[in-house]
Structure 1
Amino acid sequence: MQTNIAAKLYPSQRSADRIVVNRSSTMRDRAGAPIDVVIEDISGAGCRIRSAEAVGVDDDIRIGIAGIGIRSARVIWNEGDAFGCAFDAPLSAAELATTLEAVTLLHGAFDKPDIAAPAQDNRPANELGPRSKLLIIIGAAAIAWLPFLAAAKLIRALI
């Protein structure tokens, strides 16, 4: 039994080959909120990113690229938790080489800070602050001089 399969080939619209990097990064959306992402592959023209946050086609983003810094880009497709973006200014060959050799310095989950929360004092409950310690030292020094002052006053009264 013979089965005929027909396939139509479409030319690739990619302007450059992608290089797999699978590197953690931080992306910022239009509002500037940090979002943890993974850059799966990169080329001089753009990159593919995986993120738990939804991103829409034509959204403007900024992405931190190891060894280069922050680059502006536009989302050109999305599919589930992955999306592709085109850099506003393409990476040069030297920049691409730099990012391939670079190391991601920091991995982490960045949450929005709670602005209303007061600053926390991380000292143990039984430890005194520097101001309290200084006041105790000054008070102890003053008390140590009291017997000498009393003795001097008594000697003056006797003379």
Structure 2
Amino acid sequence: MQQVIPGSWSFPSEFGTPFLSGELTTEVHPSSELTSRKSERVSLEMGAGLRQRGGTGVAIQILDLSTDGFRASTHLQLAKGTDVWLRLPGLEPYQARVMWAKGNFVGCAFERPLHPAVLDMIVKKSGRP
């Protein structure tokens, strides 16, 4: 729901500067970066392996997963644009690219999307209801 409050300009003010009283709205528009997801994310907690190019695999915790990517907790310091390979239980490694990193959290996009049936299988294996 949007509420619009009309207004007007007044000049000069008692402080020698113009006052702006314009139209205000209570509608919030989140940035497109936050709303531009290609597919729905599934929240889950699951251990997995992650490897950087030329590196050895380390254990990470997957926090959410979709056909297009994942969010994870890791001790690695990964920069945006880094290529990584995610090893989910029972599957071959999937190549992904780090899209953002903040503290111990990273968000990665798969180079090729997971098939929806594969995502369903992973979710079931995670024990998520």
Give the TM-score normalised by the residue count of structure 1: 0.58
- Is this contact kept in 2: 1:58–1:75, CA < 8 A? yes
Corresponding position: 1:9 with 2:30:
yes
Q: What residue identity is the alignment partner of 2:91?
A: I
Q: In the alignment, what sits opposite 1:113?
A: none
CA separation in 2, counterparts of 1:20 and 1:98? 14
CA separation in 2, counterparts of 1:53 and 1:32? 11
Which one has a larger percent strand, Structure 1 or Structure 2?
2
* Range with greater deviation from structure 2 (81-90 or 30-39): 30-39
Corresponding position: 1:36 with 2:59:
yes
Q: What are the Cα deviations for residues 91-121 of structure 1, in whole angstroms up to 9, with x where unaligned?
A: 01111111112259xxxxxxxxxxxxxxxxx
Q: How many residues align?
A: 101
* Cα displacement (A) at 1:5: 7.8
CA separation in 2, counterparts of 1:9 and 1:53? 29
SS in 2 for 1:97: helix
Q: In the alignment, what sits opposite 1:134?
A: none
Q: In the alignment, what sits opposite 1:78?
A: 101
For structure 2, the residue ranges without an aligned partner over 5 or more in a row are: 1-23
Counterpart selection for 2:122 from 87, 95, 99? 99
* Cα displacement (A) at 1:88: 0.6
Q: In the alignment, what sits opposite 2:11?
A: none
CA separation in 1, counterparts of 2:105 and 2:25? 30
Q: In the alignment, what sits opposite 1:22?
A: 45
CA separation in 1, counterparts of 2:31 and 2:51? 33
Q: What are the Cα deviations for residues 110-148 of structure 1, in whole angstroms up to 9, with x where unaligned?
A: xxxxxxxxxxxxxxxxxxxxxxxxxxxxxxxxxxxxxxx
Q: What residue identity is the alignment partner of 2:50?
A: M
For structure 1, the residue ranges without an aligned partner over 5 or more in a row are: 105-159
Which aligned segments of 4 or more residues in structure 1 are displaced greater than 6 angstroms? none
Q: In the alignment, what sits opposite 1:118?
A: none
- Is this contact kept in 2: 1:68–1:99, CA < 8 A? no
CA separation in 2, counterparts of 1:103 and 1:9? 31
CA separation in 2, counterparts of 1:31 and 1:57? 17
- Is this contact kept in 1: 2:48–2:59, CA < 8 A? yes
Q: What residue identity is the alignment partner of 2:59?
A: D
Larger Rg: 1
